[in-house]
Structure 1
Amino acid sequence: MKDYDEATRFLGQWGRFQQIVFFLLCASIFPNGFGAFSLVFLTDIPDHRCTVPEVNLTQDWHKAIIPIKVVNGNQELSRCSRYRLDVVGNLSALGLVPGRDVNLTDLEQEACVDGWSYGRDIYQSTVVSEFDLVCVDQWKQPFTSTIYFLGVLVGSFFSGQLSDRFGRKPIFFATMAIQTLFTFAAIFSPSWTVFCILLFISGLGQISNYVSAFVLGTEILTGHVRVLFSSMGVSLAFAFGYMMLPLFAYFLRDCRSLLLALSLPGLLYLPLWWFIPESPRWLLSQGKYQEAEAILREAAKRNKLQAPHLIFDDHNIDADKTQMQPKERLIVFNLLKSGNIRSTTLILCMVWFTLSTGYFGLSLNTSRLHANPYISCFISAAVEVCQNSIALEMLGKFGLTTGTALMFAYTAELYPTVLRNTATGTCTTVSRVGSCIAPFLLQLSMFFKYLPYITLGTLAVASAFATLFLPESFGRPLPQTIQQMHRRESVTFPCIKRKERSKAVVLFESQL
C-alpha cells in the first residue's frame, strides 16, 4: 500500500477540512490550560491566625493575644498559636497591661482550638480556608495537588492504551466529559476527603484529552500543517487558556465559584463530536479501510475536491493487514520488548520526567513570586507565548515550556501508529510522577534556599545529554509499523567520524 501521506496528497494540506480539524482541536485544549494550574489559586494559603472568640478583654490584650515570632529575620504574628485564653482573660480582668505589667514571653501558649481567621484581601476563600488545611494539617495543602496529579498520572497511563485499542475520538470525548463533570461536582464537596476524591477523578481526564487531541491532530494533518499543529498550535492554545486563568481567578475569588467557571466551558465542546472525525491512520492500523476511505472522501467534499476512484491499493491490502495487525495485541510492554524501542522509551521517559518536574514546580510556585499572585500567574503564562522574561525563573520556565512542546511532537513522530497513543500516554504518565512530587520539591527550600533549583538544573543537564542518543525524526514520514520505527537512524554529528561498514543500508522510505 502507498504511504499514507502520498495516498492522501489529493486533499492538499490546508483546505476547509484541515482548517476545521486544526482550530477545533486547538480550541479543545483551552480548558486544559486553565484547569491544570487552577490549583495555584484553589490551594493557595491565605494569611491566617488563631480565632479569638468574643470574650471580655481589654483592647490591649486583644492586640497582644497573638504571639509575635521571627520568620526569616522578620517579625510576624503567629499563625498557629495564641496565648492561653483563660490566662489572658484573668490578666485582663485584673487590669494588667501586656508588655508593661506582664512579660509576654512567660505566658503559656495554646493551639488554635477555636479555629482560624483568614485574611480576605486576596481571596474570599480557598480550599485551604474551606477545610482548614493549615498548621498541623498543612501537609494536606501540597498533598491536594499531588492527589490531582496522581489522577492525571493514572489517566495518562490508561487513556493511551485505550485510545490505541478503541480509537482516538471516543477516548478524547470521554476524558473531556470526565474532566468537566467531576470538576463541577467538586463544587459541592462537604469535606476535604470528598474534594480530593473528586479532584482525583477530574485529573483522570485532564491531560488524557490533551494527549488524545494531540495525537488525533498529528495523525489527521499532514506536511508542514502537522508540524505547525504539533509544535505550536496546541502549545499556544494551552498557553492562552493558562493566561485566562488569572483573569477568572481575579474576578471569582471564591474557590467554588472558580470551580464552576472552570467546568462550564467543557459543555461547549460537546458539539465537536459531529465535526471532528476519527483518525484515518488509526482506522488503517485496525484494518478498517472502508471507514478510513469514507472519512477521506468526506474530507475531499469539504475541500471541494474530487477523490480518486481508488485511494488505497487493493492488491496490497491483505498483506498490509498482516503487517499492521500482528497476532500479538500491542500493549504498553511492547515499548520495552526490543533493545531499540526500550532505549528510546527509557530516555524519553527520563526527559519527560525532568520537564514535568521543572515545569509544574515553577508553575505552582508562581503565587510566591510576587505580592499579587494574579500578576505572577499571568507572567508565568505569558512567558509560554513570548521570549521576554523578567527573571531567571521565568527564563527557566520558558525553556521547560519549549522542551515540553517539542517532546509531544517528537514522541509522536518516533512511535508507529499502532503504539503512538500508548507511547505518548506512557511518557506523560512518567512525567506525572514528576508533577506529583513537584509540590513537595518546593519544600526543599526550607533546608537550603536554592536546593529546588539545583535539583531541577541537575536533572535538566542529565536529560539533555541523554537525548543525544535518540533517533532523528525531522523530515521523515510518520511510521506505521514497529518495523519501520526500528529502521530509523540516530542523529549524526559532523565532528564525529564513524568507521565505514560494508553492510548494506536500507532506507526508511523504501519500506513504505
Structure 2
Amino acid sequence: MNEPYNLDSLMAKLGDFGRYQGFQFFLHILSAVTAGLNMLSLATVAAIPDHRCVIPEVDLNPDGSIIFNATFATTEFIPRLESGKINSCLGWNVTTNSTYTCQKWIYDDTYYQTSRAIDWDFVCDRKWMGSVAQSIYMVGVLTGAVVMGTLADKYGRKPVFCISGILQLILGLLDAFTPEYYSFVIVRYIYGIFGSAGAYIPGFVLTMELVGPSKRSMCGIAFQAAFAFGIMLVAGWGSFIKDYQMLQIIYGLHSLVFFAHIWLMDESPRWLWSNGKVKEAVNIVQKALKINGHKGELDVAEYVSKGNAESRTRETEKKGMSDLFKTPNLRIKTINVCLCWFANSLVYYGLSFSTSSMKGNPYLNMFLMGAVELPSYVITVYLMDRLGRRILTAFCMLVGGVCCISAANMATGSTEAISVVMIGKFLIAASFAIIYNYSAELFPTVVRNSAMGLGSMAARCSGSLAPLLLLCDFLDPRLPSVVFAIIAIVSGTWVLFLPETLNKPMPSSIEDGENFGVGDTFFTSLSRRKRNASLETPPAKAFASEQMEPLR
C-alpha cells in the first residue's frame, strides 16, 4: 500500500509521546506555572490584613505619625459590630460619645508586615481599589486571550509564546516598582495580557498539536496541575518573604526561564503544514524522529512535494474567530463552550480569591487551595478516557454548584464550610481542566487557537467579575456563593447538549467542525444505549461511518 505522504502519516511516525515530545512538553508547561503564579500574586503582594482605626490618644506621636510599635490590640475606643467583631471602619470618641470615620488604620502584622494594601489603604471606602486592581489584571488576560490567540493562529505559536514570556519578566519587575495606584493599574492590565494568556494559551495548543491522541488528556490535565503549582508557589514564597516589593521581584524572575525557549522550543509542525510551510514542518519532524530514536530516513522530498501540492489546492482564505459563528452547529457549540468557560472561571477564581476571608493562616489556606487541585487532576486523567468529557464536566459543575449553595448556608469560616468549599474547588478544578481538552477537541484546526482564545476570553470576563462579586458580601455574606452556584448549575446542565469527543478524530476544516457531533447529546446517547441494550446483538461500531478525517 502506497504511503499517502500527508500530515497525518508524517505525525504518525512520531508516535504519541517520545523523548522529543516530552522535552517540548516540559518547555510548554512552564507557561502554566507562571500563569498561575502571576494570576494570584496580588493575593499576597496586596493582601489586606485585619485592621482597625488609629486611636489618636494611643497610637499617634505628637507630630501625627503612627507610633512605630503600635499594636493591633483593641481597646474601648473601637466600636463593635453586632457579631462581636470590631468595626474596622469606625472609631469611638469617648469625649463626644459618638463614632467617627477612620482616616488612618493599624494593621495586624501576624501574617503580613508589608503590602500594597497597607501602603495605599485598600480598606473601608477604598476597598474597591484592591478588587479593581485584580479585576483589571483579569481584563488584561481577557484581552490577551483574544489578541494573542488570534496572532498565534496567524503568525505562529512560537513567536507569540516567546515574546509573551520575555514581556512577562519585564512587566513582573515593573509591577514591583510602580509607585502610584493608577499607574499600577495600567501595568497590571498589560501584565495580564502577557502574564497569564500570551504564553499559556499558545503553549497549551502547541502541546495538543504535538502529542498523540492517547496522551492528550494526560498532557492537558498536567497543564492545569502546573497552574495549581503556580498558586502554591505564590503561597510558599509569600510565607517566607515579607517585603512585598522583593516578593513581586521573585515572582517576576520566574519568567527568566522563557529566554531559553527561543532556541530550544520548536514551532508546531501542524501549524507550519497548515500554513504552507511544509519543508519547515518536515524538518522539525525529521529532527524529532532522530531524538525519539527512530531508525530510517524520511522521504523529505516526497513529503515536501505532496505537501506543497496540497497547500496549493487548499482553501487560501484565512479563518478566524468570526468563522465560529457563521454556521449553526459551530455557533451553538461555541456559545455553549463559552458559557462553560465563563462558569468554571467564575467559581474557580471566586473560591480562590475568597481564601483571605477564611480563618487561620492565609498562606496555608492558599497553599491548600492549590494542593486540593492535584488529586482532582489525577482522578480526572483516569476518568476522562473512561467516562468521556461531557458527563464528567457536567457532573463536576453540577455537584460543585451544590457545594457552593451548601457552604453559603453554613457558618462563615467554620470547619464544615471550609471543607465544603475545598470539595467545591476540587470539583470545579476538574471541570475547568477538562474544558481545556474538550474545547481543543471540539473545534477544527483552522480556528482551534481562536476558539481557545474565545473560551479563555469568556473565562477572563467572569474572572474579572469574581473579585467585584465578592465585594457584594456586605449585602448578604451568602450572595457570592449563591451566584456561583446558580451559574455553575445552569452551565453544567447545558454541557449535556455538547457532543462527546472521546476516541473521535479532531476536526480539521470548518466543514468538519460544522458536521462534528450533529445530533449527539447526552440524552440522545442515553436513548441510543437503552435501545441497543434491548437488542440481542448490538451493532458493532455503529458510528464508524460517521467519523471524520483525522486532524490535518
User: TM-score when scaled to structure 2?
Assistant: 0.81
Match of 1:95 in 2: none
Match of 1:29 in 2: 32
1:9 matched to 2:9? The reply is no
Match of 1:221 in 2: 211
CA RMSD of aligned residues (A): 2.8
Structure 2 CA distance for aligned equivalents of residues 510 and 199 of structure 1: 41
1:45 matched to 2:85? The reply is no
Match of 1:439 in 2: 467
1:212 matched to 2:244? The reply is no
**What SS does the aligned partner of 1:386 have?**
helix
Q: Which of 440, 451, 456 is the equivalent residue of 1:423?
A: 451
Match of 2:88 in 1: 79
- Cα 1:10/1:442, change in 2 over 3 Å: same
**What SS does the aligned partner of 1:449 have?**
coil
Structure 2 CA distance for aligned equivalents of residues 83 and 293 of structure 1: 76
Query: Is residue 366–residue 376 contact of structure 1 (8 Å, CA) maintained in 2?
Result: yes
Structure 2 CA distance for aligned equivalents of residues 300 and 252 of structure 1: 45
Q: Which of 159, 166, 169 is the equivalent residue of 1:170?
A: 159
Q: Which amino acid aligns with 1:148?
A: Y
**What SS does the aligned partner of 2:106 have?**
strand
- Cα 1:506/1:29, change in 2 over 3 Å: closer
- Cα 1:444/1:137, change in 2 over 3 Å: closer
Structure 1 CA distance for aligned equivalents of residues 6 and 340 of structure 2: 31
Query: Is residue 343–residue 459 contact of structure 2 (8 Å, CA) maintained in 1?
Result: yes
**In the TM superposition, what are the counterparts of 1:278-427 in structure 2 within 5 Å?**
278-305=267-294, 306-310=296-300, 312=303, 314-315=305-306, 317-323=308-314, 325-327=315-317, 329-387=318-376, 391-427=419-455
**What SS does the aligned partner of 2:333 have?**
helix
Question: How much has 1:133 moved relative to structure 2?
Answer: 2.0
Question: How much has 1:284 moved relative to structure 2?
Answer: 1.2
- Cα 1:510/1:36, change in 2 over 3 Å: closer
Structure 2 CA distance for aligned equivalents of residues 510 and 377 of structure 1: 42
Question: How much has 1:408 moved relative to structure 2?
Answer: 0.6
Deviates more, 1:41-50 or 1:290-299: 41-50
- Cα 1:352/1:217, change in 2 over 3 Å: same
- Cα 1:74/1:313, change in 2 over 3 Å: same
1:184-224 residue CA offsets vs partner (Å, 9 max, x unmatched): 10111111111111111110111231111000111011132
**In the TM superposition, what are the counterparts of 1:453-468 in structure 2 within 5 Å?**
453-468=481-496
- Cα 1:284/1:235, change in 2 over 3 Å: same
User: TM-score when scaled to structure 1?
Assistant: 0.87
The total of aligned residue pairs comes to: 480
Structure 2 CA distance for aligned equivalents of residues 307 and 11 of structure 1: 13
Q: Which amino acid aligns with 2:245?
A: R
Structure with max Cα Rg = 1
Structure 1 CA distance for aligned equivalents of residues 253 and 74 of structure 2: 46
Q: Which of 44, 49, 54 is the equivalent residue of 2:61?
A: 54
- Cα 1:126/1:56, change in 2 over 3 Å: closer
Match of 2:146 in 1: 157
Query: Is residue 285–residue 480 contact of structure 1 (8 Å, CA) maintained in 2?
Result: no
Question: How much has 1:307 moved relative to structure 2?
Answer: 3.6
Query: Is residue 148–residue 197 contact of structure 2 (8 Å, CA) maintained in 1?
Result: no
Match of 1:269 in 2: 258
**What SS does the aligned partner of 2:28 have?**
helix
Q: Which amino acid aligns with 2:12?
A: R
1:122-181 residue CA offsets vs partner (Å, 9 max, x unmatched): 111111111122222222121111111111111111011000000001111112222221
1:269-313 residue CA offsets vs partner (Å, 9 max, x unmatched): 211222210001111111111111111111112123234215738
Structure 2, unaligned stretches of length 5 or more? 65-70, 380-415, 532-543
**In the TM superposition, what are the counterparts of 1:187-206 in structure 2 within 5 Å?**
187-205=176-194, 206=196
Query: Is residue 176–residue 266 contact of structure 1 (8 Å, CA) maintained in 2?
Result: yes
Q: Which of 114, 118, 132 is the equivalent residue of 1:143?
A: 132
Query: Is residue 6–residue 303 contact of structure 2 (8 Å, CA) maintained in 1?
Result: no
Query: Is residue 505–residue 547 contact of structure 2 (8 Å, CA) maintained in 1?
Result: no
Structure 1 CA distance for aligned equivalents of residues 136 and 306 of structure 2: 52
Query: Is residue 280–residue 292 contact of structure 1 (8 Å, CA) maintained in 2?
Result: yes
Query: Is residue 53–residue 106 contact of structure 2 (8 Å, CA) maintained in 1?
Result: yes
Query: Is residue 178–residue 201 contact of structure 1 (8 Å, CA) maintained in 2?
Result: no
Match of 1:98 in 2: none
Off by >4 Å, runs of 4+ in structure 1: 62-66, 387-390
Query: Is residue 67–residue 82 contact of structure 1 (8 Å, CA) maintained in 2?
Result: yes
- Cα 1:212/1:510, change in 2 over 3 Å: closer
Deviates more, 1:383-392 or 1:177-186: 383-392
Q: Which amino acid aligns with 1:495?
A: S
- Cα 1:316/1:263, change in 2 over 3 Å: closer
Structure 1 CA distance for aligned equivalents of residues 551 and 181 of structure 2: 56
Match of 1:96 in 2: none
- Cα 1:431/1:105, change in 2 over 3 Å: farther
Percent identical = 31
Query: Is residue 157–residue 268 contact of structure 2 (8 Å, CA) maintained in 1?
Result: yes
Q: Which amino acid aligns with 2:197?
A: I
- Cα 1:170/1:106, change in 2 over 3 Å: same
Question: How much has 1:10 moved relative to structure 2?
Answer: 1.9
Structure 1, unaligned stretches of length 5 or more? 85-103, 499-503
Structure 1 CA distance for aligned equivalents of residues 192 and 218 of structure 2: 28
